Amino acid sequence: MRRVFALTAILTILGIANAHAEDTLSPLHFQSQGPLGTIDKAAAQRGYEVYKSVCAGCHSLGKVHYRDLEALGLTPAQAAGEALAAGGTLNSPIKGAAPLNMGGAIPPDLSSIAAQRPGGPNYIYNYLTGFGPAPAGVTLLPGHNYNAAFPGGQTAMPDVLHDGAVTYQDGVQPTKAQEAADVAEFLAWAADPNLDARHQIGFRAIIFFAFLTIIAVASKRKVWRTQA
Rounded to a whole number of angstroms, the minimum distance from the CB of residue 34 to ligand HEC is 21
Rounded to a whole number of angstroms, the minimum distance from the CB of residue 149 to ligand HEC is 8
Instruction: Rounding to the nearest 10 degrees, give the CA dihedral for residues 139, 143, 149, 150.
Output: -100
Rounded to a whole number of angstroms, the minimum distance from the CB of residue 115 to ligand HEC is 11
**Using rule CB under 6 A, residue 156 touches ligand HEC:** yes
Query: For residues 168 and 174, what is the distance between their CA atoms, to the nearest angstrom?
Result: 7
Rounded to a whole number of angstroms, the minimum distance from the CB of residue 51 to ligand HEC is 6
Half-sphere exposure of 92 (CA within 13 A, CB side): 15
Is the alpha carbon torsion for 10, 15, 20, 26 positive or negative? positive
**Using rule CB under 6 A, residue 58 touches ligand HEC:** yes
Amino acid at 156: A
Query: For residues 173 and 166, what is the distance between their CA atoms, to the nearest angstrom?
Result: 10
Site residues for ligand HEC, 109-128, by CB under 6 A, read 110, 113, 117, 124, 127-128
Q: In the complex, which residue's CB is closest to ligand HEC?
A: 55
Site string for ligand HEC, 32-51 (x = CB under 6 A): ------------------x-
**Using rule CB under 6 A, residue 155 touches ligand HEC:** yes
Task: Say how far residue 105 (Cα) sits from the centre of its chain.
Answer: 24
**Using rule CB under 6 A, residue 102 touches ligand HEC:** yes
Q: Which of 15, 98, 1, 5 is nearest to 57 (CA)?
A: 98
Residues that bind ligand HEC (CB under 6 A): 50, 54-55, 57-59, 102, 105, 107-108, 110, 113, 117, 124, 127-128, 155-158, 160-161, 183
